[in-house]
Amino acid sequence: MTHEPVLLCEDRDGVRTLTLNRPQRKNAIDAELWAALADALRDTASDRSVRALVITGAGGAFCSGADISVPDNSHPIYRMRALTDVAILLHEIPQPAVAKVTGVAVGAGWNLALGCDLVVATPESTFAQIFTKRGLSMDLGGSWLLPRLVGLQQAKRLTLLAETIDAEEAWDLGLVTWVVAADDIDEFTTDLGARLAAGPPVALAQTKALLDDGADATLREALAAEARAQGLNFATADAPEAFAAFAERREPRFTGRWTVRRPPIGTGHESENGR
C-alpha cells in the first residue's frame, strides 16, 4: 500500500502551494509532517523560481494543531526543536507567504497561519489558541506574534481563555487579512499569489524584512535599514524597469536581476587572491 505524502507541493507560475495532507486528523501535524514542512520551507527559501508561497490544508480544514494523539517518547526539547525550526524558517523565507484557511486553525495550526504574511479565510473558518485547554502553553511563535498583532490584553484573552472565535471576529482583531466566500477562496488566493509572484522579488523580500524587524527597532535603526535596503533595490533591474513601464504606460516585468558588474580582471581593483 502506497503511503500518501503528508505534505503536497505544487509549483505553478512562480507560486508554490504547500498543502498539509492529513485530512483524517484535520491536518494535525505529527513528527513526519513537521520534518516535511521544515524541508519544504528550506527549499522554498533557496529557490529563486518561487516568487510567492501559499500554505493550506486538505479536506476542508487548515490545521488542528500539533498531533498529540501519537505517542512520542523523545525528550520534549527535541520535539520542540522541530516546531522551532518551522517557525523560524517560515518567518525568514524571503518570499511573501499566504495562509489559505478553510475550516479550523487551532493551536500551532493557527500560529502557523499567523506566521504567514497574509491570511485568507472563509466565513466558516474558526480559530483558537487552544493550548491551555490541553494543559499547555502556546508555541510556534504565538507568544511573539499575537501581542504584535492584537496588543497584550487581547493576546492574553485569546490564550488564557482559549476561546474559539469566528472569521469575522478574527478579521475585526486584525488576525485575518481577508474573509472570502468558500466558493471563491480558491480563485481569490490564486489571483493573490499571481499578484505577489509578479512583484519585484528583491523589493518584496526587503519590505517584508523591514516590517518584521521594524517592530523591535528604534527609528534610527529602521531608517538605516531602509537605506541599506534601497541600495540593494537600486542595484537590480527592477527599479529602472518600473520607471520605464510607468513612462510607457505598461505593466512592469520584474526579475530581481542584479545589474552591478564586477570590474574586469587586470584593472587593479581585484584582491590579491584574484577574487
How confident is the model over 31-82, as pLDDT tens digits? 999 999 999 999 999 999 999 999 999 999 999 999 988 777 788 888 889 9
How do residues 213-271 score in pLDDT, each as one tens digit?
A: 988 899 999 999 999 999 999 999 999 999 999 999 999 999 999 987 777 766 555 44
In a domain, 266, yes or no: no
Q: Based on the fold, state whether residues 97 and 221 are members of the same structural domain.
A: no
Q: Based on the fold, state whether residues 188 and 205 are members of the same structural domain.
A: no
Q: Based on the fold, state whether residues 111 and 216 are members of the same structural domain.
A: no
In a domain, 100, yes or no: yes
Q: Based on the fold, state whether residues 30 and 76 are members of the same structural domain.
A: yes
Q: Based on the fold, state whether residues 156 and 217 are members of the same structural domain.
A: no
Q: Based on the fold, state whether residues 68 and 193 are members of the same structural domain.
A: yes
**Helix or strand run (H / E) with residue 209:** helix 201-214
Q: What is the CATH number of the domain that holds 109?
A: 3.90.226.10
Phi-psi label, residue 135: left if phi above 0, alpha if psi -120 to 50, beta otherwise = left
In a domain, 155, yes or no: yes
In a domain, 181, yes or no: yes
In a domain, 142, yes or no: yes
- Give the C-alpha separation, 92 to 254, whole Å: 22
Closest by CA position to 20, among listed 48, 50, 55, 53: 55
- Give the C-alpha separation, 273 to 275, whole Å: 6
In a domain, 87, yes or no: yes
Beta-carbon contacts of residue 267 (< 8 Å; ≥ 6 apart) = none
How do residues 84-112 score in pLDDT, each as one tens digit?
A: 999 999 999 999 999 999 999 999 999 99
Beta-carbon contacts of residue 7 (< 8 Å; ≥ 6 apart) = 18, 19, 20, 21, 33, 36, 37, 40
DSSP letters, 184-206, are: THHHHHHHHHHHHHTS-HHHHHH
What is the model's pLDDT at position 252? 93
Last residue of a domain, one of 197, 216, 237: 197
Q: Look at the chain and report how many structural domains it folds into.
A: 2
In a domain, 190, yes or no: yes
Q: Based on the fold, state whether residues 223 and 146 are members of the same structural domain.
A: no
In a domain, 274, yes or no: no
Q: Based on the fold, state whether residues 71 and 26 are members of the same structural domain.
A: yes
Q: 0.85 cut: is pTM over it?
A: yes
Q: Based on the fold, state whether residues 65 and 188 are members of the same structural domain.
A: yes
Q: Based on the fold, state whether residues 94 and 186 are members of the same structural domain.
A: yes
Q: Is residue 36 packed enough to be buried (19+ CB in 10 Å), middle (13-18) or exposed (0-12)? A: buried
Q: Based on the fold, state whether residues 168 and 210 are members of the same structural domain.
A: no
Q: Based on the fold, state whether residues 173 and 209 are members of the same structural domain.
A: no
Domain encompassing residue 236:
201-248
Counting every residue written for the chain, the total comes to 275
Strand, helix or coil at 110?
helix
